A and B are shown apart, each in its own frame.
Chain A
Amino acid sequence: MFTELLLYCCVYFCGSPSKKLKNCYSRLKMQKIRKQRLQKLFFIFALSGIGVSLILYSLNSKLDLFYTPSEMTAASLNAETRIKLGGMVKAESIKRLGTTVQFIVTDYQSEVAVSYEGITPDLFKEESGVVALGYFTNGVFAADQIFAKHDENYMPPELKMTEQQL
């Protein structure tokens, strides 16, 4: 090993004063011990990293908060399972009849019609993100809770208006 070689070199070169020799030797030994401690610590970190990665990988899509319309149509869910559906509200699809709101959730590949009874959040509007909780029955998703999603863009209203005009 490299450190052993270094130790022998130290013994050879560190001349007559035995104190110098002892210092040289003990310093190298300390470096070796520290290296071992670092390796042990890294091993613990790697172990926890691999363990957590495996758990997360096996959970995979269960960690998603919601089903997208494509995922929901692909997975055949029975009408008694309470699920979350998420996506974008399709443009010009919001219809309000009394206290009921009907709209379409899309991920630009599939669409699901949603019906919700109640007050929608302020940020709920067309071409904006939404998460709906409820049951999928008879081709319509009956939601009992609606959350609005917002994206990561922050800009003043004037900038947004000029952006929309462009």
Chain B
Amino acid sequence: MTAKLLPYIASCGLLLLLTGWVWGLAFAPEDAVQGNSYRIIFLHVPASIFAQAIYLFMSICAVMSVVWRVKLAAYLIKSAASVGALITFIALFSGSIWGIPTWGTWWQWDARITSTLILFIMYLGVITLHGSFSNLEKADRLMSILVIVGLVNIPIIKKSVDWWSTLHQPASITVSGAPTIDPSMLYPLFVSILGMGLVLISLGILSSRLHILGREKNKKWVQSYE
């Protein structure tokens, strides 16, 4: 099924992402305070959003895997974890690059940056935990439990800028209240977020194909593939 959809998802995603980036990098106005260095927002914010969203997706899969024993959900956790680790690294890296001209430092151990680093470590931990077991059913169950245990990190990342004093500024786009980012910058940001989402979904599909085939390799449907 995904074979038919994947080219569309991937191409739509890349198109949207490139549109968002060209719009943001070339056509959006410069910021009054930060000048042109704010433009990395079009990479950093979508990356951070999806770093957390992928973890939430993994948590839903973890619940399905443990409660309903859906095997596909377990395969998807591991596939999503690779994509998640990548995008969290991009978020941290782009954030550091943004920090150098604006804050004057590429790293500080404030609450948000540290909890995002912990998120990155959680992704790696989930992958490693699963790989360290020879009994794969047990591995699936324990991996799902680890995902659920780490779920508490997500609200911490979100709220860290409100609960504690941090170097990182509070959110510009919130559920309550108007966005504090000008529409001329907000619209390319939305386009970039959408585009990145679709690109990550296509990466996830590719990754999950790998994992599904790997896990099901003894089944007839895989072996009849020639």
Contacts and interface: CB of A to CB of B under 8 A. Distances in A.
B165 A64 contact: yes
Contacts of B152: 45, 48-49, 52-53
Contacts of B38: 154
Interface stretch (B15-23, B80-88, B98-106, B212-220): B98-106
A75 interface: no
A45 B151 contact: yes
Given A149-B167, A154-B181, A121 B103 contact: yes
Interface stretch (A6-14, A17-25, A89-97, A156-164): A156-164
Interface stretch (A34-42, A98-106, A134-142): A34-42
Interface SS of A by simple majority: mixed
Given A48-B152, A65-B111, A152 B31 contact: no
Contacts of B103: 121, 123, 147-150
A88 interface: no
Interface string A39-74: 011001100110011001000010111101000000
Interface in B150-191: 150-153, 156, 163-167, 169-172, 180-182, 184-185
Given A65-B108, A65-B167, A68-B165, A156 B184 contact: yes
Contact of A157 (B32, B62, B68, B151): B32
Contact of B182 (A63, A124, A156): A156
A80 interface: no
Contact of A152 (B32, B169, B185): B169
A41 B166 contact: no
A124 B34 CA distance: 11
Contacts, number: 133
B10 to A, nearest CB: 30
A44 B151 CA distance: 11
B97 interface: no
B169 A150 contact: yes
Interface in A107-166: 120-124, 128, 131, 145-161
Given A34-B67, A41-B67, A160 B32 contact: yes
B150 to A, nearest CB: 8
Contacts of A123: 33-34, 102-104
A147 B98 CA distance: 13
B137 interface: no
A38 B156 contact: no
B156 A52 contact: yes
B180 A152 contact: yes
Contacts of B101: 121-122
Contact of A34 (B62, B68, B102): B68
A65 B165 contact: yes
B66 interface: yes
Nearest to B41: A154
A64 B151 contact: no
28 contacts: A37-B67, A41-B67, A45-B148, A48-B150, A48-B152, A52-B153, A63-B163, A64-B111, A65-B111, A65-B165, A68-B165, A123-B102, A124-B104, A147-B103, A147-B104, A149-B103, A150-B34, A150-B102, A151-B169, A152-B181, A153-B172, A154-B31, A154-B33, A154-B38, A156-B32, A156-B182, A157-B29, A160-B32
Interface of B: 29-35, 38, 41, 62-63, 66-68, 101-105, 108-111, 144-145, 148-153, 156, 163-167, 169-172, 180-182, 184-185
